[in-house]
Amino acid sequence: MTVLGRGVVFVLATAAAIVLIFFAGSAHAGCVGVDTGNDYTCGDTVIESCVFNENLVCPGTHGLVVGEDDITIDGNGYCIDGVKVVDVNKYGIYNYLHDNVTIKNLEIRNFYYGIRLEGAAAGDDKVEHNTIYNCDVHDNGNKTLQKGNGIELRPYVCHCNITNNRVYNNTGGGRGCEAGGQGIRLHSFSCYNNITHNEIYGNRNSGIFSKMQCKYNYVAYNHIHNNGHIESASDYWGGGMRLECINTNNWLVEYNNVRNNLGPGIYVRGDYNVIRHNNVSGSKNANNALHGTAVGVGFGIYLNVDANGNNVYGNEFCGNNDTAFGATACDVCDEGEYNHGDCNTCDTRCKGTTIRCCKRCTGGISVEFSAEPLKGVEPLTVNFTDKSDPQENITAWLWDFGDGAISTEQHPNHTYYTNEPYSYYDVTLAVTDTEGGIYDSTKRDYIVVWKPESEPNADFSGTPRKMAITPMTVNFTNQSLGEVTSWAWDFDNDGVVDSTDPNPTYTYTTAGIYNVSLNVSGHGGTVKETKTGYIVVAQDPHPAAHLDAHFFASRRSGRTPMEVTFTDLSDKGSEGDIVSWKWDFGDGTNLTFNTTTYQKIVTHTYNKEGNYTVSLEITGADNGTTKETKYDYIMVTSGAPMPFVIKGWVEDNDGKPVNGANVKVTNIETCESWTAVTYATSNYYRLVLNTSGIADGNTLQFFVNDEYIREHEVTRAEITEGGIFNFNLTVPVVETVFDTGAGTYPSIFGTHEGKIIPDENITVNRLYTYACPGTGGHTEYVRIWNEIEAIEGIGNWSGYQGDYHNITISPTITLLKGHEYNYIIRTGSYPQIIHAGEYKAKEGGNITCTRFTDANGKVHEGWIPAIRLWKEE
């Protein structure tokens, strides 16, 4: 027999005796309690921190069950093995309802679930603040029972960290939201979790999967590859990362490497997620049975029809247009509403996709430009330079300077003015290549313009920031905005001005951590910027030396209510060095995070007029702190009207540009309507309004060529940002009757040939040509035949005599359902023209001609003479 965790006992039987031989193992084996020395082995409930000292083999039981808060299970490099016993209730590590638990340095394999964290189903007791770190979780799940995943958070598991793990070859199966075989699955209200720096690969379905209102999760810096190993279409729900169910909302997915997955690289079905700076390539179609469905097609990113308001930008989607099994995918596919994004890199976009790519993976045009100067007092004349590549393939340029002005020059100049203390302008360049493709790039807040009397905005940088020896010489650079006439630097926080140069150099001779301040003065007043703990000088650097608090705001000025998005750009140094973040927004509002509640991006709304000083203080693991303070950083004025810009592109269902379209926008709350500026040689449109006619919650309806296209509800963020950008309009190719109207009609005199396939048996001896009102539309000659069936009928016009719209076909012929017949027809004198929606004819139907040239030489595509075949008794 085998005594697990204690040693090995062999029972030897002979004719004379039974001899017991014991090979001693450790006095304590398995996971040894740190406080008590207790030995936790297969199926045990762990109530204290413990450290493994050997492998555990656990057939038919859980590995370990967490039984207490605030404990650590340290695998110490050992393994816990479930030996693939089929049992739906057995997990490698199982935590039900316990908080602040760390699982680290452990290999977990061959269980139904590798690790499962589980809160109460009613949501009244969540699992929070768990960490799974540096674990190998692999070969879990059971594809026969179609269940089981590597790591599962379900339900109500929040504020947990899954980092630096390898999650691979988990084999549960099934198709649908309850399928197994996911590397990491979040389920049922599991929110505010961080999944970072993991390698997730070889899992039978998707690498990361979410279901049922899992919101505000952060997924970053993961390598997700080669997931989606399936045998048939019936057990498939794969891809790299699937934000699967409705209400999978408000995720931030960034800096992930998603490669060579079977199915979509990233799949989005929820709302208001940010997908940015990811590299997605090599996504492949699943198989023929799923041909044509988004579930199995190898899109780079696919936004489901239910996905709304997602922002996709700065990603690289390349090499995902796989055509295996006959299904053609594309790099970017968006079937949702109000999704947007810019400056992605891709080669192919599905028709109707509003997410734009400014660079091509191969071929096409990579759009780039520069400007000089980038900031200054009004009137500010800026010189723009097109740097797109390759230049020889560009045939047209369209610049949008962000203030309502445009240019079609290659290298234009433009002069900016402002009605605000400070104005920030987006600049867009769109270029057209020799094949008619349009590529564009937008630089946000690219040009900054201020009034001469505006209060300055202090800012600076220094390099180097830290050094282990003295003396240490630092070069400081003034980055202030506004009309600055004097600078006062305090390099060592002693209240004494050390320099009045705009870009000084200072030498530190004493070890220490120094706050640095810059006071700037101008016609608009004096302001100060202080960076706490900014310079570190020491022989043996202080542990906090690497910390660098830094942030920026999405907008610096605006009108009430002004919503501002702040992004933490602090230098964290090595993993886990920052343990707390404290924001002070300057209006009495503070926001504090720890490592489990941390949010990289925060939003704050200013409701009162004023200038606000904003600071971010960060604290390291050793309690060292540093803070960045930006004085008078946010400038809020009263809610008077401000510019509101709506702009985008007009395309048809096939993604082809619709140039010179008539674009109108109507506010259904105020009944106001506006006509956008459009261009005969471009599909770009732009409408400049102000917020006197637009308010948060207003519904705007968009019309193209007087046809309703879509509507959009204005958000507070859009009011704050000053517009709705990259709002694309897709014009359906509608199969309608061609309206000949009044005046000159198209004459199609000439001979045309084609084929006719009746959709029912039809006997024919007459042909009637529908004329345009008041004209002599007629057919001069027609021949219909099928040599194999020995069918031939011919008709000739007799001139303007009596019922000249009808001609007789002789002999009477019968055309059979589904059979193919040839025809020749010569028409003249303005017959009615209708859209060729179907290439068929029947009694009361049409002979088709999909292309003709009228008397003026104009080519008509997809339009035919309106002709009726019938039998006169």
What does the pLDDT average to over 722-732? 83
Tens digit of each residue's pLDDT (9 = 90 or more) over 16-32: 332 332 333 344 578 99
Displacement of CA 27 from its chain's centroid (Å) = 55
Q: Is 326 helix (H, G, I), strand (E, B) or coil?
A: helix
- DSSP β-bridge partners for residue 548: 571
Question: So what's the pLDDT on residue 723?
Answer: 85
> How far apart are alpha carbons 831 and 474 in whole angstroms?
84
Tens digit of each residue's pLDDT (9 = 90 or more) over 516-549: 999 999 888 888 888 877 888 874 443 344 567 7
3-class SS letters over 254-276:
ECCEEECCECCCEEECCCCCEEE
Residue 13 has pLDDT above 90, yes or no: no
Displacement of CA 90 from its chain's centroid (Å) = 37
Tens digit of each residue's pLDDT (9 = 90 or more) over 209-241: 998 889 889 999 999 998 987 654 444 567 899
Q: Which of 40-54, 412-426, 581-595, 753-767 has the lowest mean pLDDT?
A: 753-767
CATH of domain 50-262: 2.160.20.10
Question: So what's the pLDDT on residue 35?
Answer: 93
> How far apart are alpha carbons 304 and 318 in whole angstroms?
20
Please choose, from the candidates 613, 605, 602, 617, the residue with its C-alpha nearest in 3D space to the C-alpha of residue 549: 617
Q: Would you kindly state where each structural domain of the chain is located, as residue ranges?
A: 50-262, 278-362, 369-449, 460-635, 643-731, 750-870
How is the beta sheet containing 369-372 ordered, strand by strand?
369-372, 380-386, 413-416
Query: Residue 773: which pLDDT band, with cuts at 50, 70 and 90?
Result: low
Percent of the chain with pLDDT over 90: 30
- Asked if 155 and 187 touch (Cβ cutoff 8 Å), the reply is yes
Q: Which of 20-24, 117-121, 799-803 has the lowest mean pLDDT?
A: 20-24
Please choose, from the candidates 283, 285, 293, 286, the residue with its C-alpha nearest in 3D space to the C-alpha of residue 323: 285
Tens digit of each residue's pLDDT (9 = 90 or more) over 482-516: 889 999 999 988 889 999 999 999 999 988 888 89
- DSSP β-bridge partners for residue 55: none
Question: So what's the pLDDT on residue 86?
Answer: 58
What pTM does this model have? 0.51
- DSSP β-bridge partners for residue 163: 133, 196
> How far apart are alpha carbons 265 and 239 in whole angstroms?
6
First to last CA, the chain: 100
Question: So what's the pLDDT on residue 100?
Answer: 93
Q: Which of 186-190, 322-326, 748-752 has the lowest mean pLDDT?
A: 322-326
Query: Residue 749: which pLDDT band, with cuts at 50, 70 and 90?
Result: low
Pick the CATH number of 460-635 from 3.40.50.970, 2.30.180.10, 2.60.40.10, 1.10.760.10: 2.60.40.10
The topology under which CATH files domain 369-449 is: Immunoglobulin-like (2.60.40)
Query: Residue 794: which pLDDT band, with cuts at 50, 70 and 90?
Result: very high
Residue 736 has pLDDT above 70, yes or no: no
> How far apart are alpha carbons 123 and 189 in whole angstroms?
8
> How far apart are alpha carbons 335 and 351 in whole angstroms?
9
- At the fourth CATH level, the homologous superfamily of domain 643-731 is Immunoglobulins (2.60.40.10)
Residue type for position 207: G
- 369-449 matches 643-731 in fold: yes
Percent of the chain with pLDDT over 70: 80
Provide CB contacts within 8 A for 549, sequence distance 6+: 531, 532, 533, 570, 616, 617, 618, 626, 627, 628
- Top-ranked range on mean pLDDT: pick from 5-19, 183-197, 286-300, 763-777: 183-197
Question: So what's the pLDDT on residue 172?
Answer: 77
Q: Which of 226-240, 269-283, 445-459 has the lowest mean pLDDT?
A: 226-240
DSSP for residue 39: E
